[in-house]
Amino acid sequence: MEDEENIEEELLLVESQLNGLQDKIKTLLDQQEELYERQAQLKAMLEISKTSRDASNSAPSVALEDWSGKFSWDSQADDTRFNVFGISSYRSNQREIINSIMSGKDVLVIMAAGGGKSLCYQLPAVLRDGITLVVSPLLSLIQDQVMGLAALGIPAHMLTSTTNKEIEKFIYKALEKGEGELKILYVTPEKISKSKRFMSKLEKCHHAGRLSLVAIDEAHCCSQWGHDFRPDYKNLGILKIQFPSVPMIALTATATSKVQMDLIEMLHIPRSVKFVSTVNRPNLFYRVYEKSSVGKVVIDEIANFISESYPNNESGIVYCFSRKECEQVAKELRGRGISADYYHADMDVVAREKVHMRWSKSKSQVIVGTVAFGMGINKPDVRFVVHHSLSKSMETYYQESGRAGRDGLPSECVLYYRPGDVPRQSSMVFYENCGLQNLYDIARYCQSKKNCRRGAFFQHFGEAVQECNGMCDNCVSSIELKDIDATYHTKITVSLLQEMQQNDQRATLLQLVDKFKTKWKHSGCSNEAVDLKKEEIEQLIVQLILDRVLKEEFQHTAYTTNAYVVLGPLWKPALQGNRPVKLTSAIHSQDSGDRFKSAKRNQMSNLEAKLDDLRRTISSRNGGIFPHAVLSTEQISLLNCHTPTTIAELEKLIGKVKTDKYGSDIIEVMWSETGSGKDSGDGAKRQKKDKGVVFVESGEEEG
Ligand SMILES: Nc1ncnc2c1ncn2[C@@H]1O[C@H](COP(=O)(O)OP(=O)(O)OP(=O)(O)O)[C@@H](O)[C@H]1O
Ligand SMILES: [Mg+2]
């Protein structure tokens, strides 16, 4: 008997020691997991830093050649840039890239979205004799580019599955015999890997010395490590093998060092000159708004934001978490007078294309989309990108928000955040490699009320910090902040979870908030700790997850995956109150205007509105051309500033090609708005001054 008791006693002891050990092992395993993740992060950072150092050491051609110096084609390039493309000056790195291509080098370009990569191959294509081949992944991107070039009078065509027989014949003749006018030929990668006929024509073109340049757009599609891998891109290596003497330019907006190495190898361009531009998008204003837990209130806020900040139908995108949410939000925005269409992967291609087209031509203002609305969005004048919920990583957010302001003009990226959205995303991404870590990075971005938003991007992409210039909410906010001591609240949360776990109970984030409130009430609140609002408790719990005091655990049901909050590796010190926990809260939550709001041209002038109408009229008159291909928004502000009233003045601002095409229409608008010309009765005088220019449309005057 006694023996048995002793045994039982010892058994209990051993079991409790085992439990203790298992806890320790769990904590150690958690720590190991954290360290592995950090190790991977540090290795990647080291790789980036090594590659950039190697690039500057091992590519003497880069160091020795001054791509910004003088070249024999300078004046011809300047003339084409301005008179054909209507671009008044180069942006950062464009001139250097063009010069290296013109010198016959292979080039790798990494430049942020909207940085102006197209000009880097289109301008040399016009300058060099012969035909430039451009490989691009999507039909819609190709169509946009070909139409844009046609509007500039540059002979460009595409050879895709939609090309009719007649055009195909024309293209093959141009390749084979040099007949007909063809300067730039766009193809999808499938043409290279699947059409022997096409490759044989291309070889003939090359043998006759007429293949001037090969451009690979969206080159990150080559790499399996990239975010848009396309198997057919893997076969593009054949191009350098077949045409070694033809310069190749590979362009992409985002490529980690791993992707860069991958694509240099796959495209066989080991000696390429590399140009890496900053990830910074100085014209984008980043802000995070607190998101209400009431769905309708969120929509009201988004609708108000759009109609107050963008009353002139300026284009925007609203990103949503799910397809259903997309449809719902679009419907509710429409109900509030905003012309919005939805776009997601469940729609058929024709319906998607229709929605995209309407929006591209500014016939609808907003697309409410899921992540499916991605690569292929070429619209330069997107003024705002709203996130109805947070993205799954900083990288995804950078890309999605980066679709704003590709024309370089001030634009806004707004994210509606509530901590309750974190578990919605985490239950989708937890099985992905580093999925949770990536999600927690963006959650940290959203939770912060103090740190520069731009700084978070620099840190994420391993780039030196640059000035924000007051272009994020945290840098300009006049909201007064206070730090709440949440050490006691943390203790309560941890002990609550400890009790629950002992009883084999679990709670989701929202359930935990409710349980916290009940426990708080019963705890007597004798402590001087302040009462927290529901949103603040949610915020605290997410902060504790990010700080590893708590963690998320997932369980599949037949229909869904639930995310539960459980104790994390650092719960013990938190329970003992050894680690002070601070929660940042806003004292006055009203945003008393910021520099972006006042700097941004909220109202278009009458003249700008008229020119905007004009570009839309010309666009619909000419079928396919987009309004921004007629006149860019930047050009409209230029015209608004300088108010040219003669063709000669106009040509100095927008170049020859656009003046020849649209000059008389534009001048007519200028006259009607500025009171010059026929209204002031000096039309005849003006006509005399601008000999050779006939304003056919101003009929009254002529007669
Ligand atoms: N030097 C410049 N000055 C003014 N506008 C420019 C200049 N270069 C390009 N742009 C305009 O900027 C916009 C974006 O250019 P482009 O489409 O080439 O960007 P991108 O780098 O290819 O971006 P993405 O990665 O999104 O494809 C276009 O409207 C283009 O006409
Ligand atoms: Mg591009």
CATH code of residue 634? 1.10.150
Q: What percentage of the chain exceeds 70 in pLDDT?
A: 88
Q: How far is CA 151 from CA 160, 333, 509, in A?
A: 20, 34, 55
DSSP bridge partners of 386? 318, 414
Nearest CA to ligand 1 atom 4: 87
Residue indicated by tokens 């942006």: 91
- Cα separation of 18 and 15, whole Å? 5
Indicate if 322 and 435 belong to the same structural domain. yes
Same domain membership, residue 268 and residue 131: yes
Q: Which of 276, 309, 342 is the last residue of a domain?
A: 276
Same domain, 385 and 323: yes
Same domain as 173, residue 97: yes
Q: How far is the CA of 114 from the centre of ligand 1 (A)?
A: 5
Q: Which one of 98, 119, 638 would you pick to mutate in the ligand 1 pocket, going by the greatest count of ligand atoms within 8 A of its CB?
A: 119
Is 594 within the bounds of a domain?
no
Contacts of 169 (CB under 8 A, 6+ apart): none
pTM of the model: 0.78
pLDDT band at 68 (very low <50, low <70, confident <90, very high): very high
Is position 296 within any domain?
yes
Q: Which ligand is nearest to the CA of 111?
A: 1
Q: Any alpha helices (H) in 389-533, and if so which ranges?
A: 394-401, 421-429, 435-447, 453-460, 473-476, 487-502, 509-522
pLDDT of 230 > 70? The answer is: yes
pLDDT digits (tens, 9 = 90+) for 528-548: 778 899 999 999 999 999 999
When pLDDT is cut at 50, 70 and 90, the band that residue 50 belongs to is: low
Single-letter code of the amino acid located at 308: E
Q: What is the pLDDT of residue 250?
A: 97
Atom of ligand 1 nearest to the CA of 118: 18
**Cβ atoms within 10 Å of 25's Cβ, excluding its own:** 10
Give percent above pLDDT 90 in the chain.
62
Report the C-alpha gap between 405 and 412 in whole angstroms.
Answer: 8
**Host domain of residue 492:** 483-523+531-586
Verify whether ligand 1 is closer than 6 Å to residue 632 (CB atom).
yes
Look up the CATH number of the domain holding residue 235: 3.40.50.300
Ligand 1 pocket residue status of 253, Cβ below 6 Å: yes
Kindly give the distance from the C-alpha atom of residue 71 to the centroid of ligand 2, in angstroms, as a whole number: 26
Asked whether residue 696 is assigned to any structural domain, the reply reads no
Report d(CA 370, CA 355) in Å as an integer: 14
Residue 79 lies in a domain: no
Nearest to 237 by CA among 253, 252, 219: 219
Does one domain contain both 488 and 454? no
63 domain-assigned? no
For residues 264 and 334, membership in a common domain is answered with no
Quick: pLDDT tens for 344-382.
989 998 899 899 989 988 899 999 999 888 877 888 999
Mean pLDDT of 482-489: 92
* Same domain as 391, residue 502: no
Higher pLDDT, 477 or 615: 615
Same domain, 379 and 447: yes
Determine, yes or no, domain membership for 497: yes
- Closest ligand 1 atom number to CA of residue 380: 29
Which of 238, 253, 276 delimits the end of a domain?
A: 276
By the 8 A CB rule, do 249 and 106 touch?
yes
- Are 628 and 568 found together in one domain? no
Per DSSP, the chain holds a count of helices (H) and strands (E) of 31, 17
Same domain, yes or no, for 536 and 654? Answer: no
Average pLDDT over the chain reads 87
Let me know how long the chain is.
Answer: 703
Query: 416-453: per-residue pLDDT in tens?
Result: 999 999 999 999 998 887 889 999 999 999 999 999 99
Integer angstrom CA distances of residue 184 from 142, 158, 212, 213: 11, 8, 10, 9
Residue 583 pLDDT greater than 50, yes or no? yes
Q: Are residues 27 and 159 in the same domain?
A: no
The answer to whether 395 touches 434, Cβ cutoff 8 Å, is no
Residue 447 lies in a domain: yes
With respect to residue 215, please indicate whether it lies within any of the assigned structural domains.
yes
Residue nearest to atom 1 of ligand 1 (CA): 90
Task: Indicate the number of domains in the chain.
Answer: 5
Residues 264, 163, single domain; the answer is yes
